[in-house]
Homo-oligomer: A and B are copies of this chain.
Amino acid sequence: MALGTGYAQQNCSIARALEIVGERWTMLVLRDCFYGVRRFSDLLGHLDISRAVLTERLASLTDAGLLERRSAGGHPEYLLTAAGIAFWPTLYSLSRWGERYAGDGGRTRTFSHAGCGGEVDDLGQCPVCGTTPGPADLIVTLVEGSSGHRRSDPVSLALRRPHRLLQPVTPVAG
């Protein structure tokens, strides 16, 4: 949060969590990381965010231990750490709430268990095998007919195909 008067006095795990992930754009950066976006320019194009703010968010997420900055092929890549991956349930829960109460009520994306194909429920549990798959075992699929096809940047196009979370996306040029 990095303001003079942050949430420090709140002494509450929610407040402390929000000190790390509560700033504008931060959770959307994490969402993109789960979707497999790893590069500065891809995040920039997909989020429509100011370069300075993206730089700052990536640095603070890295400082906080949710992301790891790694050089790959001459360019940096930002990968989720264990602490970052552990944030998935919160993001999933927020997504489900948003589908129900911040849109037209319909599904926009579904998440299915890569192991058995079951579509996970509100709690993230697979109704077929009864486990709670981590993000690495989930396949995200855009719901056809949802309002989910507006953007046309390369990353958005690449994300229209079903794909496994955390696996790197390869944006198509154009």
Which A residues are closer than 8 A to B by beta carbons? Answer: 1, 5, 7, 9-20, 22, 24, 27-28, 31, 47-48, 64-66, 83, 86-87, 89-91, 93-103, 108-109, 122-125, 132, 147-151
Contacts and interface: CB of A to CB of B under 8 A. Distances in A.
Residue from the set A13, A20, A108, A150 with the largest chain B CB neighbour count within 10 Å:
A13
A109 B28 contact: no
Contact of A14 (B7, B11, B28, B151): B28
19 contacts: A9-B150, A11-B108, A11-B147, A11-B150, A13-B97, A13-B98, A13-B109, A15-B28, A17-B94, A18-B94, A19-B102, A22-B27, A65-B101, A86-B97, A86-B100, A90-B90, A90-B94, A93-B93, A123-B125
A14 B33 CA distance: 14
Given A1-B24, A90-B93, A13 B99 contact: yes
Copies of this chain present in the complex amount to 2
B16 A148 contact: no
Contacts of A102: 13, 16-17, 19-20, 64
